Structure 1
């Protein structure tokens, strides 16, 4: 029996520096050191480009050690998308570009031609075969779940198979599910016993286990288990002890000495847990999380602007823009499972920063001032959106979704100011009230897999399980009774009197030479004490070519002929880098100017100006009001799973200027947003 053993090591683009350091100190470095001391154990490595970039600056000796093992024939290196994208959901030109980028690094640094590829999150779609063949890839590794989805029985999942697309072929090695959940989560003897059973049944075949390197030291409880309790060394020693029947090989070495098991076609799939989280198909994350869809379609928008790299030398600004595009394709903020994923604001912010920066670099050649608008189905839901752009701002407007602002980008800072999340139910929320498991089981002398670990990082998380009935966009039009409180609004305990949230608005454009206006209008109704009151709401957004500001003119018209006592509120969701003390909210109104922490709920009266200071990014977003409103503001936090347990995450600050009205016929107000 031949064991094809290896690890995939990755940290997301934009992850915190201390996470990189901890991962290297507790996981990557000790693993490489121990493997280096066992030259008879052959292995396969994959390092994502974002991790390589960090290692080159902070621990180049680790890569040099891997290079030495490569030269002595102990290891091989897999290529992949440089910044670990989910390959099927990015354009083919970008797939090829990202793979070529990592393969070129491997050739230049390791002096090795990679033969195999690591597929990010093992998200497979059959058309990938052609892309990989074009990149010179000979093989990849996918889970047993992929093969089961195609109808293969478990007993056949050894060795490797050939798959095909339009005549292009690729070898595929099934990753053993049994070994994925026992290495290193059981006693070292358990996977050896399983391999012995396979050897007795299969003879000279192979079993593959290549999985996340972070399980060897970074996942909860694993550093002590793998290194202090010497799991990895014991496992390697058992492999050597049983070498009369069990050998380790690199994957390509095995391909050169063993024939494939046959031809097999794999359906769209990922590993079993991922398929459960996504509902069976990775792209479902884009329908489950509109925020993920927005990020994905923003990425496609920028990729289309860049187009296909020319065969000859590309302009320097386009090279830099393409690198930022690739960084913005890092998969982590596009989905959510046991890891934080899309709920981790810092990963979303970095993805948007790279995509916006890529666009800004391409637009540098345009001499300001300029302004333009385009209407098309940006988010691919069958309804057109509007994009208004100048050199400083990009405003994405959704007439069919309450006439809301989908995205407000400040181009010089590379910041999406409205990069927030809505609070929604997750299946694991039901587990928060149940018993929590510790990462180490004394009774069974093994650690619990991260997929089974239930741990709360703070008490009382169930009190924060609040769910939104609408998507938290900006420029949302609310109507309430006058007895509503901030606490009720924050916790979604109120009656929405109007039918304007998520509803379609008509749209018109007025264009000037250096300015333009978007007029959104809806003939709706107010449910006022059981009576339907017809009401027309229009809002006009005006931008000019020179400034980073948006002027919003509101007009309400009561068509009923009778006065109504209501509160009109306009909701904005502004996402700051963090709730760090240097970031704050400032109000100027009745009682003078006050400064609030982003952790506070805010109530103000007769507000003339409010601003959100994001000192982390060096950006201020200010709101000015001509008819001074009352103000409610509060942090919006979600409860989500991460590798270290259930946690609360700040997503954005909700801003609600609101005007108590006795609305007889018509009423107008202006809001001016200035970004600097």
Structure 2
């Protein structure tokens, strides 16, 4: 009896990722992989490329595309959503359209009609089965953990299973986690020994590995190992020569063998995704439980992927904006294409890769959100709609040059601030969240960084995988870890005291006496170009003193006018702090009142001018009185495949004014 090796690679890059990044990945991973595969025509391989990446390669790397086409007789192509969405997170009509787009691309270019589907991030939900059958899909790639979580024996998953919903059945091929962690990180000898372990009776002897193509050349230390030291050549050669291994495809295995059994699996993904998506209030306890009882992983399941919409407000907002736009009737083909690009999964979550922490991914999502809005050509008026599904309506105001959205629930903040011609959202900021791995980050000296790299070299011909290497959480930078207790958008109202300074504003440790920054406001009045909000709250110094804060916004072309009025029973001198957080594309070419943004700044002025050379815009704030102005770059700390990322997410602007009992403050924002 032989092991049936089902080997596949999945290749994807976020929509509109930097060209230089994609070319580097093509050079280090995709091109050498297929050049190596060409040398071994007997090695059968399954391949999935996201549609937009395939189109990029076809248009800009025709030599590689022709090579893949030449190798198509030994390749089984898998379909999926064209722009790599999480299928369970988008509407049914979009799901079907995206799958058919990629299937048609494969059929037109490679003369294959795909029967297998690569499930993005292996996010399974029964709700997708009906649509998969409408797209003529027979089998889907999942993980062994999907079945383990349902109670199946880990050692008896070496084939495919059948599941059903609404009388539609589909086959599930579970990726073996051990192989996912071994290939290509272990030595050839250890890899081959593992493959031989799968020898069993027909239909239950499949060694299933279908994983990121970037592991072959882009992940740390893999290019040297896989190509320079010829690991991949040796692997292909050994698999072909080994009498106990039969290299086959998923379609051949599916057509030749019966299912192991019927299976019903929960809404789940691979084990690591459960860890990353666990909500913060229970994540520490979850990790402790997992570490104590790894032998009972089938009983310990983490979060579900959609928890990222709860965990990161910014993720939820992008997702819900896409859902809102998806409801648009009579969509043009151009509109649909922009909408599908917004649905790309990468920006919506965070694990061992940057995801929601990468500003350029969020910029790309908002670019297509604004393009969709511009196609709809609404240039004045407003729309009232519960965009983010929190039972409160948001108010979206249109001018020919701006789209501004006010969220009454979240302190009456400005939560979206779109420059329509620049296709840029100034409000694309990120709240500073606490992540569990923050506690593991350690500072090292530059001279020690080479030692960290050497930790990837575990033994002869073996390297560590980033899945479980805490050495990645080392940095030579002086990082500052701060956590925000409110959503960090704009027009936030704080009541503090005279101890406010640029340091405690930056660290979010100033004393808050009011209940206006993150509590709901009532909408008093709304017109086509204005809104008035009020909150009857309090100032809590020694005891609550009733306080009413009213704010008014008016929108005209590229200008926002606003007025703040505070009436309070508190007689002592307090400090009102109006906070704005704005996002920009390139902070190296940004100045605030003529100063570069490197650290916290303080001004006493009635005006503030931001010059942004990257989009060639000047944003100026004009107040009717002099204030203390505090400015600092908002930086996030996140992990990625390359280590610790310290990223500027925006700049925070604080406009502070003393008052006692009453305050009236007027200002306007002008964009030129």
Equivalent residues in 2 for 1:381-460 (5 A)?
Answer: 381-433=390-442, 438=454, 440-443=456-459, 445-453=461-469, 454-456=471-473, 458-460=475-477
Query: Distance in 1 between the 2:157 and 2:586 partners?
Result: 47
State the match for 2:534 in structure 1: 521
Report SS of the residue matched to 1:400. Answer: coil
State the match for 2:75 in structure 1: 75
* CA drift at 1:613: 3.1
The correspondence for 2:566, drawn from 556, 580, 592, is: 556
Contact 1:402 1:505 in 2 (8 A): yes
User: Structure 1 residues 611, 103: CA separation in 2 closer, same or farther (over 3 Å shift)?
Assistant: farther
Runs of 4+ displaced beyond 6 Å: 201-204
The correspondence for 1:34, drawn from 20, 33, 36, is: 36
State the match for 1:670 in structure 2: 666
- Do structure 1's residue 332 and structure 2's residue 334 form an aligned pair? no
Query: Distance in 2 between the 1:197 and 1:203 partners?
Result: 15
The correspondence for 1:565, drawn from 573, 576, 584, is: 573
* CA drift at 1:542: 1.3
Contact 2:240 2:247 in 1 (8 A): no
Report SS of the residue matched to 1:670. Answer: strand
* CA drift at 1:460: 4.5
- More off after superposition, 97-106 vs 620-629: 620-629
State the match for 2:282 in structure 1: none
User: Structure 1 residues 391, 131: CA separation in 2 closer, same or farther (over 3 Å shift)?
Assistant: farther
The correspondence for 1:538, drawn from 550, 572, 581, is: 550
Report SS of the residue matched to 1:621. Answer: strand
Contact 2:347 2:355 in 1 (8 A): yes
* CA drift at 1:63: 1.6
Query: Distance in 1 between the 2:636 and 2:178 partners?
Result: 34
Query: Distance in 1 between the 2:307 and 2:48 partners?
Result: 27
Contact 2:466 2:472 in 1 (8 A): no
User: Structure 1 residues 204, 502: CA separation in 2 closer, same or farther (over 3 Å shift)?
Assistant: closer
Deviation digits for residues 88-109 of structure 1, max 9, x if unmatched?
Answer: 0011111111111111111111
Query: Distance in 2 between the 1:306 and 1:216 partners?
Result: 43
Deviation digits for residues 504-535 of structure 1, max 9, x if unmatched?
Answer: 21112242xxx43211111222234x254332
Query: Distance in 2 between the 1:265 and 1:183 partners?
Result: 29
Query: Distance in 1 between the 2:369 and 2:329 partners?
Result: 11
Query: Distance in 1 between the 2:561 and 2:614 partners?
Result: 26
Contact 2:629 2:656 in 1 (8 A): yes
* CA drift at 1:600: 3.4
Deviation digits for residues 360-412 of structure 1, max 9, x if unmatched?
Answer: 1122xx5x5x31231x3221122332222234322222212211112222222
Report SS of the residue matched to 2:15. Answer: coil
- Do structure 1's residue 285 and structure 2's residue 292 form an aligned pair? no
Contact 2:634 2:652 in 1 (8 A): yes
Query: Distance in 1 between the 2:201 and 2:103 partners?
Result: 38
Equivalent residues in 2 for 1:362-373 (5 A)?
Answer: 362-363=376-377, 368=379, 370-373=380-383
Query: Distance in 2 between the 1:619 and 1:325 partners?
Result: 27
Report SS of the residue matched to 2:328. Answer: helix
State the match for 2:291 in structure 1: none
* CA drift at 1:442: 4.6
Equivalent residues in 2 for 1:582-661 (5 A)?
Answer: 582-585=589-592, 587=593, 595-608=594-607, 610-661=608-659
Equivalent residues in 2 for 1:40-439 (5 A)?
Answer: 40-70=42-72, 73-200=73-200, 205-242=205-242, 244-279=243-278, 280-306=303-329, 318-363=332-377, 368=379, 370-374=380-384, 376-433=385-442, 438=454
Report SS of the residue matched to 2:472. Answer: coil
Could you state the TM-score of these two structures normalised by the residue count of structure 1?
0.91
Report SS of the residue matched to 1:147. Answer: helix
Contact 1:400 1:503 in 2 (8 A): yes
* CA drift at 1:200: 4.8
Report SS of the residue matched to 1:472. Answer: coil
Report SS of the residue matched to 1:33. Answer: helix
- More off after superposition, 431-440 vs 81-90: 431-440
Query: Distance in 2 between the 1:413 and 1:305 partners?
Result: 23
Deviation digits for residues 266-318 of structure 1, max 9, x if unmatched?
Answer: 211111111111122001111011111111111111111256x6xxxxxxxx2
- More off after superposition, 479-488 vs 291-300: 479-488
- More off after superposition, 150-159 vs 382-391: 382-391
Q: Which runs of 5+ in 1 are unaligned?
A: 310-317, 588-594
User: Structure 1 residues 466, 617: CA separation in 2 closer, same or farther (over 3 Å shift)?
Assistant: same
Report SS of the residue matched to 1:386. Answer: strand
Query: Distance in 2 between the 1:167 and 1:667 partners?
Result: 66
Query: Distance in 2 between the 1:173 and 1:442 partners?
Result: 31
Could you state the TM-score of these two structures normalised by the residue count of structure 2?
0.91
Contact 1:189 1:238 in 2 (8 A): no
- More off after superposition, 270-279 vs 330-339: 270-279
- More off after superposition, 428-437 vs 291-300: 428-437
Report SS of the residue matched to 1:114. Answer: coil
State the match for 2:27 in structure 1: 25
